[in-house]
Amino acid sequence: MKITGKSLGRHILAEMYNCNREVLNDLQKIKEIMTKAAIIAGAEVVEVVFHQFNPYGVSGVVVISESHLAIHTWPEYGFVAADLFTCGDHVDPWKAFEYLQSELQAEQVMTFEAKRGVLPLDADQFSYKPYKNEKVEEKEKVG
């Protein structure tokens, strides 16, 4: 069955090859790049969680009020798998992708975009209710 209509979100799956191996193994740098990618896309960051693997590799997620951006790095292969899922009309996952591609110095990429939650509704029937994160706003005021 084919459903047509407006989608709740856009989901980009990206594979990046021949990336900068030093960057891919730098937990703090990957965390900063992913957080900035979310902001560049127009998203509101809710939570950031990253993990450094031994002997190498970083995985993490930036939870945004509009969904999430996730990354898994394989420095030994210069490879990255990224998952950029955004909801609403004001966030552009392709802006996040372009920033990641540039910062990770990917020489080759493969991408796929899926429309998520395609519902048989008119555009005026959708209501996006982004979560307002008081903790993030408070940090911005203090810092």
Q: Write out the catalytic residue numbers.
A: 67, 72, 87
CA 106 to chain centre: 16
Category of 93 on φ-ψ map: left (φ > 0), alpha (ψ -120 to 50) or beta: alpha
* Residue closest to 38 by CA, chosen among 73, 87, 105, 78: 87
